[in-house]
């Protein structure tokens, strides 16, 4: 059983997940699965994964080989759905059981196409799977936050090369989400405006960090980018919750996603990257605890953060939390704007 | 000129340092310098670096080839000493000039020996250089924090393989330092005890996370380790400031450092790692600002954090601030204790 452990000096929870690797020799970096015969995410290998949780397929039985998108439990989950938290103290520390959910979204049956290569219609299917899983998991009141993210390339943490994203539900609000939500709440209570809406309006006026301005979505390089060629994708109209996007909106979002991924792939020669979907947490109440986030529809603004992995997180970043970025966001936006797709 | 830019949503400063690399094609990972002819840190190549700031050598002129440890300015500094901050606003953001110091400590003239291979006497020289540079730089009242760190191996961010560490002085208190200092201050004000002293006492009693217990120093695997085989080295007697260590103490510290580095090298097959020296910030006052850290001698406790780079920081970690660690600190401590050195 994994554990969530509290560091009382750094003020952070860590997941000690011993399901997969433990011993020193287990850390030798493995080659990615090369062929389709061995790949558990390929057509025809459906029996090599745990049974699917959700899939998009024209018709037919679960786990049959005619799907377009497939969602399965992670075979080596960092957190498990079964059990209770058993939140307890230990000396100066705190610890609870590693309860949560860890799912894999297989984005395409084709081993050799990355997400940037998918059509907008195929990306719409992926986004639909995201929405479905969010809506389902937020009914479990143990989960305080869900994050969907993608690791593309070994250096970005992907252990299988077949295009996929992951969903992790955690029983605690993570520190970065807590900061964003608190900032947005404070800003709104002072100004009665969304800080993200103000930021988007400012960036659209300034223009130099805009990558692409669509009717209802916009991609920007953040003014204080931690690393080179970071991009954020925002809905231009205020919306706190990704899962409230309707089918037409997901179709438009897929076009903006494809554009963002293709620009990054083209300009950076298929560099490894991560993207992370930031959206409002579930708003259910817990016994004895007020829920501070029950009016997030005014404060928060969902978005997608993309981080190419071109530089290493080194001692300075580990030790301070400050980042050194050798490419200005203005230069990055220009290179991405001028990409020939 | 580099810039320090403020992210008003993530609440963090980022250094936009465009001295070294900018364009997409500049991110192709370069091979490390292999031979000694091309290496600017080797004996005889002293003219390939900027003039030295400090060195330990038996006798002779600066920049001559008979040194044991050498400190030079970084050729591509993230921050520069010259100029003023020009702290200003820009829309929702804040920005200031990239003022600071960025130095390189060359730990040995020998291209082929890593820090773990140095003798305790040689490591004492390196620690003496650290102390000297800390004491000198803290006289500059623009600098609010200094961090000494080491990147060992390409995957840990080292761009030259010749063994070296770095010192960066920044004009702001970094978020991780601010959290540690605040926690220590709060704990002391409640209990009149140092939180680090309490933690060390608890860990020495428990024993299962102790790697090596010396007379005046101890190495531990942290209970909530973010990544596998993390180790922290603490002085057992309370001390807030590394720079106050006398020569005899540095000699003892060098023995503990050597032991820690050699265990990591042996158990993890010379894995890449970072270490970071955490010590109290300079305590000078600024005009118009109270200095909250002018009694740190009671609260804070300097230490060294070592992080082997065995796993990738992936989308989940980037997006939440939570870490997933696949090796329990108890297992890690056992492997390190049982290493045959």
Helix A247-267 / helix A329-337 crossing angle, nearest 10 deg: 100
User: Which chain B residues contact residue A320 at CB under 8 A?
Assistant: 145, 147, 170, 174-177
Q: Under an 8 A CB cutoff, do A325 and B145 touch? A: no
- Give the residue on B whose Cα is nearest the Cα of A206: B91
Are A261 and A126 contacting, i.e. CB atoms less than 8 angstroms apart?
no
Interatomic CA distance for residues A161 and A115, integer angstroms: 11
Rounded mean pLDDT, A246-270: 97
Q: What is the strand order of the sheet B12-16 is part of?
A: A323-325, B12-16, B3-7, B93-97, B88-90
Place of tokens 């049974």: A51
B276 with B311: CB under 8 angstroms? no
Q: Which helix (H) or strand (E) holds B277?
A: strand B273-278
Q: Given phi > 0 = left and psi -120 to 50 = alpha, else beta, which region is A100?
A: left
Q: In the prediction, which pLDDT does B200 show?
A: 98
Q: How far is B58 from chain A (nearest CA, A)?
A: 31
Alpha carbons within 13 A on the beta-carbon side of A246: 1
In this structure, the number of other CB atoms found within 10 A of the CB of residue A339 comes to 17
**DSSP for A112-157, written as a single string:** T--GGGS-HHHHHHHHHHHHHHHHHHTTSTT--EEEEEEEESGGGT
Chain B residues inside the 8 Å CB shell of A263: none
pLDDT at residue number A31: 47
C-alpha distance from B277 to closest chain A C-alpha (Å): 8
Residue at token pair 């059981």: A97
Tell whether A7 lies on the interface with B, counting CB pairs under 8 A. yes
Which is nearest to A258 in space by CA: A40, A108, A70?
Answer: A108
- For residue B149, the chain A residues in CB contact (below 8 A) are 314-316, 318-319
- Residues B21/B27, Cβ–Cβ less than 8 Å: yes
Beta-carbon pairs below 8 A across chains A and B: 278
3-state secondary structure of A329: helix
Distance (Å) from the alpha carbon of B304 to chain A's nearest alpha carbon:
10
**Nearest residue of chain B to residue A323 (CA atoms):** B14
Would you call B5 and A175 a contact, using CB atoms and an 8 Å cutoff? no
pLDDT at A63: 87
Contacts of B267 in chain A (CB under 8 A): 24
pLDDT digits (tens, 9 = 90+) for A142-170: 899 999 999 999 889 998 999 999 999 99
Best interface-test mutation with A: which of B10, B224, B263, B306 has the largest number of A CBs within 10 A?
Answer: B224
Could you tell me the two tokens for A74? 């992670």
Q: Is A78 within 8 Å of chain B by CB?
A: yes
Per-residue pLDDT of chain B (341 residues; tens, 9 = 90+): 899 999 999 999 999 997 766 678 777 655 455 556 789 999 899 999 999 999 999 888 888 888 999 999 998 889 999 888 999 999 999 999 999 999 999 999 999 999 999 999 999 999 999 999 999 999 998 899 999 999 999 889 998 999 999 999 999 999 899 999 999 999 999 999 999 999 999 999 999 999 999 999 999 999 999 999 999 999 999 999 999 999 999 999 999 999 999 999 999 999 999 999 999 998 766 556 656 666 677 789 999 999 999 988 899 999 999 999 999 999 999 999 999 98
Report d(CA A324, CA A190) in Å as an integer. 32
Q: Which residues of A touch B232 (CB under 8 A)?
A: none
Question: What is the rounded distance in angstroms from the CA atom of residue A219 to the CA atom of residue A212?
Answer: 5
Contacts 24+ apart (CB under 8 A), B248-252: B249/B216, B250/B124, B250/B127, B250/B128, B250/B131, B251/B120, B251/B121, B251/B124, B252/B214, B252/B215, B252/B216, B252/B217
Are A176 and B321 an interchain contact pair (Cβ–Cβ within 8 Å)?
yes
C-alpha to C-alpha distance for B125 and B138, rounded to whole angstroms:
20
Nearest to A107 by CA among A155, A31, A46, A42: A42
Structure tokens at B280: 């109290």
Distances (CA, A) of A63 to A236, B70, B326: 38, 63, 30
Question: What's the rounded Cα separation, in Å, for the pair B167 and B102?
Answer: 6
> Nearest-5° angle of CA B151, CA B155, CA B156?
20
Q: Does A63 touch chain B (CB under 8 A)?
A: no
**Percentage above 90 pLDDT, chain A:** 77
pLDDT score at A34: 55
CA pair distance B206, B29, nearest whole angstrom: 44
- Helix residue spans in chain A (DSSP H): 120-137, 175-191, 195-206, 247-267, 296-299, 315-320, 329-337
Q: Directed axis angle between helix A120-137 and helix A247-267, to 10°? A: 120
CATH fold label, A46-83+99-337: HIT family, subunit A (3.30.428)
Report the alpha-carbon distance of residue B236 to residue B254 in Å, rounded. Answer: 15
> What sign results for the dihedral spanned by CA atoms B40, B46, B51, B52?
positive
Q: Is the pLDDT of residue A294 over 70?
A: no
CA-CA distance, A153 to A64, in Å (whole number)? 28
Chain A CB contacts of B92 below 8 Å: 195, 198-199, 202
**What DSSP character marks residue B93?**
E
pLDDT digits (tens, 9 = 90+) for A2-34: 999 999 999 999 999 977 666 787 776 554 555
Q: Which fold has domain B3-337?
A: HIT family, subunit A (3.30.428)
| Cα A201 from Cα A195, distance rounded (Å) | 10
Q: What are phi and psi of A158, to 5 degrees?
A: -75, 130
When scoring A320, A328, A335, A338 by the number of chain B Cβ atoms within 10 A, the one with the most, hence best to mutate, is A320
Q: Six-digit token pair at A23?
A: 């011993």
Give the start-to-end residue ranges of the domains of chain B: 3-337
**Token pair belonging to A31:** 């080659």
Mean pLDDT of chain A: 91
Interface ipTM: 0.91
Which residues does B288 contact at the CB level (< 8 Å), separation at least 6?
none
Mean pLDDT over A308-333 rounds to 92
Residue A55 has pLDDT above 60, yes or no: yes
Catalytic positions of A are: 164
Q: Residue B296's pLDDT is what?
A: 74
Judge whether residue A85 has pLDDT over 60.
yes
Q: Is A159's Cβ below 8 Å from some Cβ in B?
A: no
Specify the pLDDT at position A271: 94
Tell me the pTM.
0.93
How far is A329 from B7, CA to CA, in rounded Å? Answer: 13
Residues 6+ apart with CB under 8 A from A254: A120, A121, A123, A124, A126, A127
Q: Is the pLDDT of residue A302 over 90?
A: yes
CA distances from B305 to A289, B40, B75, B199, B266 (A): 36, 28, 26, 15, 18
How far apart are the CA of A21 and the nearest CA of chain B, in angstroms? 6
Residues of chain B numbered 184-213 and touching chain A (CB < 8 Å): 184, 195-196, 198-199, 202, 206
A77 touches chain B (CB under 8 A): no
Q: Most B CBs within 10 Å: which of A148, A307, A316, A329, as the mutation test of the B interface?
A: A316
């Amino acid at each position: 059983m994994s554990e969530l452990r509290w560091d009382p000096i750094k003020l952070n929870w860590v997941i000690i997940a011993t399901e997969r690797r433990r011993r020193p020799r287990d850390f030798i970096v493995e080659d990615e699965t090369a062929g389709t015969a061995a790949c558990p995410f390929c057509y025809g290998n459906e029996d090599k994964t745990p049974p699917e949780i959700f899939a998009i397929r024209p018709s037919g039985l679960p786990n049959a080989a005619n799907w377009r998108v497939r969602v399965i439990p992670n075979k080596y989950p960092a957190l498990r759905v079964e059990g209770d938290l058993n939140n307890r103290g230990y000396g100066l520390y705190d610890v609870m059981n590693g309860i949560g959910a860890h799912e894999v979204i297989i984005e395409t049956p084709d081993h050799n196409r990355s997400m940037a290569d998918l059509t907008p219609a195929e990306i719409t299917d992926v986004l639909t799977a995201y929405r479905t899983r969010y809506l389902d998991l937020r009914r479990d009141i143990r989960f305080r936050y869900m994050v969907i993210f993608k690791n593309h390339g070994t250096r970005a943490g992907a252990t299988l090369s077949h295009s996929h994203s992951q969903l992790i539900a955690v029983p605690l609000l993570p520190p970065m989400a807590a900061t964003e939500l608190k900032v947005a709440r404070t800003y709104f209570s002072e100004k009665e405006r969304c800080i993200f809406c103000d930021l988007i309006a400012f960036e659209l006026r300034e223009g130099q960090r805009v990558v692409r301005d669509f009717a209802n979505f916009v991609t920007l390089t953040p003014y204080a980018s931690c690393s080179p060629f970071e991009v954020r994708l925002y809905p231009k109209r205020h919306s706190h919750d990704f899962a409230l996007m309707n089918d037409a909106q997901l179709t438009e979002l897929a076009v903006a996603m494809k554009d963002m991924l293709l620009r990054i792939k083209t300009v950076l020669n298929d560099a490894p990257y991560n993207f992370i979907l930031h959206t409002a947490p579930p708003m259910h109440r817990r016994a004895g605890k007020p829920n501070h986030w029950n009016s997030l529809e005014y404060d928060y603004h969902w978005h997608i953060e993309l981080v190419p992995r071109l530089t290493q997180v080194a001692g300075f970043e580990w030790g301070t939390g400050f980042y050194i970025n050798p490419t200005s966001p203005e230069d990055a936006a220009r290179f991405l704007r001028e990409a020939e797709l």
